[in-house]
Amino acid sequence: MRVFSIQPGSVTETGALPERLPERGYVWIACGRREFELEQAHVQTTLQVLGGVTLVDLHVSDLLNNQLPSHFDYTSQYDILVFRRLAAGHSETDLAHPGQPLTQPTRRSGPPVLRRIDTSPVGFAVFDRVLLTVHPAGCTVLEHYATRLLAAASAASRAAGVQMPVGPADLMLRIVNQMVDGYLDLRRELTRQLDHWQSELLSPSARFTNWGSLLDARISLHQLDEICEDQRAAIQDWIEALANWDVIEGQSDHFGGQRGLELLKVRSRDVLEHIERVVHHVRRLEQNAETAVQMHFSAQSNRTNDIMRVLTVLTAIFLPLNLIAGIFGMNFEFIPWLHARDGFWWAMGTMGLIATVLTGLFWRKRYLVRNASR
């Protein structure tokens, strides 16, 4: 568990739950899902002290559910956002050591880049001055953002104009945005893998054998599409809830002011736009994979037709030759040219002439034209 006390221009990290709020800031409590399950009573007590309210039992169940899709819910005192991440990592947790990921993650099917995408949910409970996050063990997204948050509070970052999150909702949106961008960083490798498969599928000289991996990739892309749809619906519900927020008179722009609310709306729309990009990319990859398979079977069908056409033409060429050979092979005593000295050469010449004429005729009709693909 990591606890951050965030004030304007400074960030302090502690390992214990705070007993009071900072004078001009807010508190971020980040814990693993198993840690939250074990320390639920202490966390609820802290939320009661800091925010004046505890989490509803159903929301606690949502935060502990590892299979819950992305969704948004709210009460009059706090908001709940469950957001399934698309990031590199794995979500298995060692129950004997809370907060620690398994050293041997479960093997998954599909291409390597899809096996590295973890879609486990991350829960956010947003209070007025408290942000509670419940994440999988070893969540690199939150670890990376915690490092960025501590670096942003340094004197050099403040001099460079690096802005810190102005409130719990702003911090939540920044973390969600980084989670979405984590997939955007993986899309190049995923696109390269599918492009390689498409090249193999359409190559006339290659024999494609990775049908199992391609099927797993299509299933994984379809699952990613569904996850992204849930993400988009959750953020849209959050944006609709923001539209109903009231501006609190006398509050600073950081907590309830007009400018702070407008900043949240802008950042929320930016997160939604990033999710739209992920949805568009996932659907394009899914369509490309489907199109590549269809083109592969179409190409195989065309190659089969070409082979059958050549065999048919060869059969048509040798058919009259077999007829001539069959006639002269009849067991009649008197057959013209059968006992002639030059009868054999006349027969061979006639057969060669017929074969040449038929070959030229079929070539002229483009029945024997070599395809550019072969």
Task: Report whether pLDDT(83) > 80.
Answer: yes
Confidence of residue 106 (pLDDT cuts 50, 70, 90): very low
Q: Which residue spans within the chain are E strands per DSSP? A: 2-7, 10-14, 26-32, 71-74, 79-84, 87-88, 117-118, 121-126, 130-135
Nearby residues of 43 by Cβ (< 8 Å), 6 or more positions away: 17, 29, 31, 36, 132
pLDDT at 103: 42
Q: Which residue's structure tokens are 């002290």?
A: 49
Q: In angstroms, rounded to a whole number, what is the distance separating the alpha carbons of residues 90 and 145?
A: 18
Q: In angstroms, rounded to a whole number, what is the distance separating the alpha carbons of residues 124 and 168?
A: 10
Comparing 293 with 347, the larger pLDDT belongs to 347
Q: Where in the chain is the domain with CATH 1.20.58.340?
A: 305-364
Task: Report whether pLDDT(364) > 80.
Answer: yes
Q: For the ranges 18-22, 102-106, 187-191, which has the lowest average pLDDT?
A: 102-106
Nearby residues of 230 by Cβ (< 8 Å), 6 or more positions away: 69, 70, 71, 84
Comparing 208 with 120, the larger pLDDT belongs to 120
**How far is residue 253 from each of residues 176, 249, 327, 328, measured CA to CA in Å?**
22, 10, 104, 106
pTM: 0.70
Task: Report whether pLDDT(7) > 50.
Answer: yes
Fold of 305-364: Methane Monooxygenase Hydroxylase; Chain G, domain 1 (1.20.58)
Q: In angstroms, rounded to a whole number, what is the distance separating the alpha carbons of residues 51 and 152?
A: 26
Which residue, among 39, 50, 30, has the nearest Cα to 134 in the 3D structure?
30
Inter-residue contact 38 to 64 (CB < 8 Å)? no
CATH superfamily of 2-298: CorA soluble domain-like (3.30.460.20)
Angle between helix 211-243 and 168-202 (nearest 10): 150
CA distance from start to end of the chain: 62
Comparing 99 with 315, the larger pLDDT belongs to 315
Inter-residue contact 55 to 44 (CB < 8 Å)? yes
Read off the pLDDT of each residue in 222-234 and give the average, rounded to a whole number. 85
Size of the chain, expressed as the number of residues it contains: 374
Q: What percent of the chain has a predicted confidence (pLDDT) above 90?
A: 12
